[in-house]
Amino acid sequence: MNRDRRSGLICLTTGVILVGVAYAATWAAAAPQLAAWAMVIGIALQIAGITVVGGTRSNRPNHLVLIAALFLGTVIVVGFGAALLLPPESASAGPYLLGLPRRAAIVLLGVGILPFLVLPFLYAADFDTDGLDEASLARFREECRVLRESGTEGGAR
């Protein structure tokens, strides 16, 4: 299997397990801080992992997808991690960031807006339009038809 895809799957699986750990810790009413961190890291690994698995094509490394996944994981861990670690703000003294209490700003703007300013452009840069015009798609349809007919004789479908 492609190395990037395997790494993505490992990240995803680890992330799923960590979210399970977070749920178990919450259910047992034990270590809420541990549960929160397990959830943060678990979510980051899942989302980064599935992006890598989804963005990997054929057997070549895809640096833009890896950058996107790294960016996503970092935004989630840093954004939610800062919210967990930074001290609470005071209503009068703040600190405020763009009109919001600092931790709220990090979550709302850092996790809620920042990815929008980066990810769509990484996706566009990564998107390969070659082979997607009408003529190429017609050839691709034919190629797939031949493959299917040669590979599925006696298959379930």
Partner 1 sequence: MTLVPLLLQTKPLLPNSAPEIAWVALFYLVVCAGIAVWAVRRTRDTRDYFLAGRGVGLWALAIAAMASALSGFGFIGGPGLVYAIGLGAVFIVLPASITGSMTAWVLAKRMRLLGEVRGLLTIPDALGARYRSPGLQGLAACAILIAIVGYAATNFLALGFIVDAVFHTGLANGIWIGAGLILAYTAPGGMLAGVYTDVFQGSVKAIASAAVFITALQSGGGMRRIAETISSNDPGWFEPWGNRPAVAALSLFFVFGLGALGQPHVLHKFYMLKDARRLKWYPLLMTGAMLLALLLYVGVGFAVKAAVARGDLAALGRPDDATPTFLLRFASPLLAGIVFSGVTAAIMSTVNSFLNVGAAAVTHDLPIALGRTVTRELLIGRLVTVALTLAGVLLALKSGVLIALLGIFGWGLFASTLVPALALGLCWPGATRLGAIASVSVGLVVTLLGETLVWSKRLLLPAGVTASGLALLLSLLTFLAVSWLTRADAASDLDPDIRLIMER
Residues 40-99 that bind partner 1 (CB under 8 A): 40, 42-43, 46-47, 50-51, 53-58, 65, 68, 72, 80, 83-84, 88-92, 96, 98-99
- Binding residue for partner 1 (CB under 8 A) from 87, 135, 153, 156? 156
Tell me the closest approach of the beta carbon of residue 63 to partner 1, in angstroms: 14
- Within residues 17-36, the interface with partner 1 by CB under 8 A covers 17, 19-20, 22-23, 26-27, 29, 32, 35-36
- Binding to partner 1 (CB under 8 A) within 104-143 occurs at 104, 106-108, 111-116, 119-124, 126-127, 129, 131-133, 137, 140-141, 143
**What Å distances lie between residue 6 and 3, 42, 65, 69, CA to CA?**
5, 17, 14, 14
Of 11, 39, 45, 66, the residue at the interface with partner 1 (CB under 8 A) is: 39
